[in-house]
Structure 1
Amino acid sequence: MISGDDLKAMRKKAGFTQKQMADKLNITRETVSNYELGVGEPRMSHFFKWLAYCKIDINPLMIQISNVSSKLNDPKDIKDKE
């Protein structure tokens, strides 16, 4: 996924303290700290909210996910794998 250093950099650039980010995500400050230290990874819902609060454009990521999903659901690709 993304590194704790990246999460920390995004949060700081957005001007939030760990406590402010924690309040936005409805988690503890310690949990935010753990994410940033790489002790744990954020849940997907927390991750996407983190990106949104930091005003990170997630459209390229969503397009990439959609492309991967389309390939997985393409009957031609499934038939080729058998």
Structure 2
Amino acid sequence: MFPFCINIATFLLRLCSFECGKVSAFITKKEKKDVIDGDDLKAMRKNAGISQELMARKLECDRKTISNYEQGVSDIKSKQLFRWLMLCKIDTRALLNEIRQISGSLNRHDVSKLQDDEK
């Protein structure tokens, strides 16, 4: 198994900062260690024995898009990132469980105080 570790809380913060499903482009070098970048995507894909062509078919895009993600030319959409992780056999259960806990917690509390989200 590919030794892949990610700080879940940091990933969630990054996930919450997605704009229109894309990762924000303003990440400092110091923060680089807390995000998944193109080199990480490529390493995961290669470790799983998946070609760019096969990954493109699985994600329903073209090979050039995969290349652009891996070279950092374009940002991967959040849905595609999760599919990428699953295709590469990266265990996302802990991350998904934490997201569900947060979601459930918000649903149990008075969310009416979050009016600025609805404007």
Q: Once superposed, what is the RMSD of the aligned Cα atoms?
A: 2.0
Residue deviations 1:13-67 (CA, integer Å, cap 9, x gap):
0001111111111101110011111222222221121111111111011022123
TM-score scaled by length of structure 2: 0.56
Matched residues in 1 for 2:110 and 2:94: separation?
Answer: 25
Matched residues in 2 for 1:77 and 1:24: separation?
Answer: 37
Alignment of 1:22-33 (within 5 A): 22-33=56-67
Alignment of 1:2-21 (within 5 A): 2-21=36-55
Return 5+ residue gaps in structure 2 as ranges.
1-13, 15-35, 114-119
Q: Whose helix proportion is higher, 1 or 2?
A: 1
Alignment of 1:53-64 (within 5 A): 53-64=87-98
Alignment of 1:61-80 (within 5 A): 61-75=95-109
What secondary structure is seen at the aligned counterpart in 1 of 2:50?
A: coil
TM-score scaled by length of structure 1: 0.77
Calculate percent identity across the aligned residue pairs. 48
Matched residues in 1 for 2:71 and 2:99: separation?
Answer: 26
Matched residues in 1 for 2:76 and 2:42: separation?
Answer: 12
CA contact (8 A) 1:71 1:77 kept: no
The letter of the residue matching 1:12 is K
What secondary structure is seen at the aligned counterpart in 2 of 1:16?
A: coil
